[in-house]
Amino acid sequence: MSAGEKDGALVCQTCPQRCRLAPGALGACRARRNDGGVIVAKSYGRVTSLALDPVEKKPLARWRPGTYVLSVGSYGCNLACPFCQNFEISQAGEKDVPWREVTPDELVALALAARRRDPRVIGIAHTYNEPLVGWEYVRDCSELAHAAGLASALVSNGCFEPAVLDTLEGLIDAANIDLKGFSDAFYATCGGAPRSLACARDTIERLAADPRCHLEVTTLVVPGMNDGEAEMEELAGWLAGLDGGRGRETLTHHVTRFFPRWRLTDRGPTPVADVYRLADVSRRYLDHVFVGNC
C-alpha cells in the first residue's frame, strides 16, 4: 500500500495522512516505516498491553454480553487527540514504551488457554492504541482466531482507506468505531488529515452494511468542542440512516463522558447532565443509546 518516488520515498496509503516516507522514515503513526523500499508495520506483533476484559468494557453493549475477550494493544496511532486516554502507548514509538513480541500463533494460544480456564472467553479484541496502523497483525490474528473457533473484535478510530478494510473482509465479528465528532474542524484538532472524518464515516457505513459484523459507535463528549445539540442531531441522524435505513434499530451509540487527560487539562469533566442530555438527543434517532463514564 505505497507509491514510490525517484528519491526512494514512498507515500503510505494506509490512512488519509498519506505520509511521504524517505528510506528508513516512520509515518506520523510511529508504527509504519519505509523499510528497504517497502512500507511495513514495524509494530507487527509488538504487544504493549494484554488483558482479559469483559466485552462490555470495549465498549460492546449488545454483542455477546457477559463474555470476555483477550484484549491486545501495541503502540502508535494515526491521530493525536489532545484528550487521548491511552496516550502513553498511542502516542509512543518503539523506543518510547516497553513491548514484547507475541506472534499471531502465540496470541491465539493465549486466548485458547484463557478459554479453557473460563468458557466465557470468546475471542480476541484489538484495542488500546489504534490497531489498524498495524492492520497486518489484526488480519493474521483474526484469520487464526477464526480457524480456532474464536471471535475477533476491533476498537478503532476508523480513519483508514478502503484497501485496509478490504484486507479484513469477513474477519471482524464485532467493532466499536470512535466517531469523535461530526466536523472536519473537530478532526483537525485531533491531528486528523482533511479526509479523516470522511474515512471514519466510510468505515462505519461499510461495517454497518456487513451482516457478519456487529457494529457499535462511540462519541466522547468534550466540553466546548463537540457538546452542541445540533452536532449530535446531525451525527445521530446520519447513523440512523445507515444499514439501508435500518440504523435506528441495528446500530448502538455510546455517548461518553470526557475526563481531563494528556494535553487537554484546561477544563473539567463533562457535566453528567450534558452527557444525558446529548444521549437523549441521540435517542430521537436511535433505539440503542448508552451513556459511559457517568
CATH number of the domain to which 140 belongs: 3.20.20.70
Indicate whether 15 belongs to any domain. Answer: no
Indicate whether 27 belongs to any domain. Answer: no
For 186-239, the DSSP string reads HHHHTT--TTHHHHHHHHHHHHHT-TTSEEEEEEEE-TTTS--HHHHHHHHHHH
251: Cβ contacts below 8 Å, ≥ 6 apart: 208, 215, 216, 217, 239, 240, 242, 243, 286, 288
The three cell numbers of residue 125 are 479484541
Q: Please state, in angstroms and rounded to a whole number, the distance separating the CA atoms of residues 3 and 8.
A: 10
Is the Cβ–Cβ distance between 289 and 283 less than 8 Å? yes
Residue 1 has a pLDDT of 54
Indicate whether 120 belongs to any domain. Answer: yes
Residue 3 has a pLDDT of 55
pTM tops 0.85:
yes
Indicate whether 24 belongs to any domain. Answer: no
Q: What is the domain range of residue 196?
A: 43-292
Indicate whether 34 belongs to any domain. Answer: no
Choose among 249, 254, 167, 180: nearest CA to 208. Answer: 249
Residue 7 has a pLDDT of 83
Indicate whether 249 belongs to any domain. Answer: yes
Domains of the chain: total: 1
Indicate whether 17 belongs to any domain. Answer: no
pLDDT tens digits, one per residue of 7-58: 899 999 999 999 999 999 999 999 999 999 999 999 999 999 999 999 999 9
Indicate whether 101 belongs to any domain. Answer: yes
